[in-house]
Structure 1
Amino acid sequence: MSLLQVRDLGKNFGGVRALDGVSFDLPEGQLLALLGPNGAGKSTCFNILNGQYRPDAGSVHFDGREISNARRSMKPRDVWRLGVGRTFQVSATFSSMTVIENVQMALVSRKRKLFSLWRPAAGMYRDEAMELLAQVGMAAQAQRPCGVLAYGDVKRVELAIALANRPRLLLMDEPTAGMAPGERNELMALTRELVVARKLAVLFTEHSMDVVFAFADRMIVLARGRIIAQGDGETIRNHPQVQEVYLGSGTTFGQEAQ
């Protein structure tokens, strides 16, 4: 059984149908790219998966447990505690805090610990935080404020924060947005290593097709809330409807990735 099972998801906003019968599976140990032009429904799908939206139709099962349907959805924090992590297109670190303090705060939240004047959070879980930072290549910058980091390094810190909850499923929304080509490849190569080492399942959205074709095991393409294609890179690249939606007929989709 797949770790994540999405069945017939539907979501409307007024007269706009953002998702229409979306279904897919995601097993552990796999990178799945969710693609589509702006307005295709990618963000709506993500927001349903982590509990921010309730679907109007369909269901989501995680590790055999139904976490969302048209009648009720688990709250984002409860979904997070089950083992669903998320990174965002716009970085969500605390810029005035140090790198290690950002990760420590995530660990405090995971362990449901409270801190006081007698036991400040800065003294808690330092070893575990440093281990996470080492995994993402940021241990040497642990004492620097996040506000002075290069953008690619901030993304690495955000990944360490997401890993603090020991997720089994990681939702990555435009993980390489705003990054230089070399930084994009480094971050996704690191993500690939974590997928293998931790047997993570990763669902990510991405507009950089070179990243998608280099690192995704499978791809799903949405257009106007519906799945129009899914499969490996070669299948998606040569799919006529995908070419039409992205680049117009007669142009090979993903050409820049070759």
Structure 2
Amino acid sequence: MSRPQNSKLVVENLQRAFGGVKAVRGVSFSLAAGEVLALIGPNGAGKSTCFNLLNGQLRPDAGTVRLDGVDLVGLPPRKIWRLGVGRTFQITATFASMTVAENVQMVFLSRARRLLGLWTPAAGAFRDEAQSLLERVGMGAQADRPCGVLAYGDLKRVELAMALAGDPKILLMDEPTAGMAPGERQDLMALTSSLVRERGLAVLFTEHDMDVVFGHATRIIVLDRGQLIAEGPPDAVRADPRVQAVYLGSPA
């Protein structure tokens, strides 16, 4: 396993089985601040299981997951989130009846553990902070619209703002461009890459669109049947015969 300098996330020998099916088998990798790491592989490769092991939705049968030296294995998702692991989902997770700004404010409130009294208005809490994040992701003008009326690509931007409101060190993005038009996909990942540089984030994302993967990942890891079969910069992974055989196909 290669280990980037200043690694924030270090995964070693991660394993998880469901009955007789070994979904993740001895996976090890590291992720450093400023990296955009893509996790790819064919359907059933173990990508979603690996994601769920990292943020505590599943517990590994073996292996360690460390964030800045702190072992995350066995911690509940809310604790892992507070330690700095944020996540976006393939299907957006917003409150449809609440405004765009309110969705982001809710994350700030949760992060601050603020309990408002029965008669204390929450509408103004962290409004400026939410507006600033929404401006950054291109949603400032829609702050007062209900999320339920937004186009899907705009919902993805709101979800990104919500993830950033949690002040993550590591951002896990599960199929971030699923359901988006090609132009929207590239725009969202370009935005993500710029946020990585600005904030010193580390991003791990899964994606089926290879134009997105090879256009925006700084490094790629490839799973097949639960095992890591390749790791490296995009050009090296694209040329790897094993990756071509199980996922990309032979070059023309």
1:18 aligns with 2:19: no
Question: Take 2:241 and 2:122, find their aligned partners in 1: how far apart are those partners?
Answer: 54
Pairing of 1:170-181 with structure 2 (within 5 A): 170-181=171-182
1:158-213: CA deviation from partner (whole Å, max 9, x where unpaired)? 00000011101000000000000110011001000100000000000000000000
**Residues 105 and 121 in structure 1, CA contact (< 8 A), matched pair in contact too:** no
1:38 aligns with 2:43: yes
State the superposition RMSD in angstroms: 1.0
Counterpart among 1, 7, 23 of residue 2 in structure 1? 7
Q: Tell me which amino acid in the other structure corresponds to 1:122.
A: A
1:28 aligns with 2:26: no
Q: Tell me which amino acid in the other structure corresponds to 1:61.
A: R
1:191-240: CA deviation from partner (whole Å, max 9, x where unpaired)? 00100000000000000000000000000000000001111111111111
Aligned identity (percent) is 66
Q: Report the counterpart of residue 97 of structure 1 in structure 2.
A: 98
Pairing of 1:87-166 with structure 2 (within 5 A): 87-166=88-167
Question: Take 1:219 and 1:113, find their aligned partners in 2: how far apart are those partners?
Answer: 39
1:227 aligns with 2:228: yes
Counterpart among 72, 75, 90 of residue 67 in structure 1? 72
Question: Take 1:135 and 1:112, find their aligned partners in 2: how far apart are those partners?
Answer: 24
Question: Take 1:119 and 1:141, find their aligned partners in 2: how far apart are those partners?
Answer: 25
Pairing of 1:69-88 with structure 2 (within 5 A): 73-88=74-89
Which region of structure 1 is more displaced relative to structure 2, 2-11 or 109-118?
109-118
5+ residue gaps, structure 2 = 1-5
TM-score using structure 2 length:
0.96
Alignment partner of 1:204: what SS?
strand
Deviation beyond 6 Å, 4+ runs, structure 1: none
Question: Take 1:162 and 1:122, find their aligned partners in 2: how far apart are those partners?
Answer: 20
Question: Take 2:155 and 2:248, find their aligned partners in 1: how far apart are those partners?
Answer: 32
Matched length? 247
5+ residue gaps, structure 1 = none
Pairing of 1:206-217 with structure 2 (within 5 A): 206-217=207-218
Q: Report the counterpart of residue 52 of structure 1 in structure 2.
A: 57
**Residues 7 and 60 in structure 1, CA contact (< 8 A), matched pair in contact too:** yes
Question: Take 1:247 and 1:198, find their aligned partners in 2: how far apart are those partners?
Answer: 32
Deviation at 1:247, TM superposition (A): 4.5
Question: Take 2:240 and 2:32, find their aligned partners in 1: how far apart are those partners?
Answer: 24
Deviation at 1:120, TM superposition (A): 2.6
**Residues 4 and 26 in structure 1, CA contact (< 8 A), matched pair in contact too:** yes
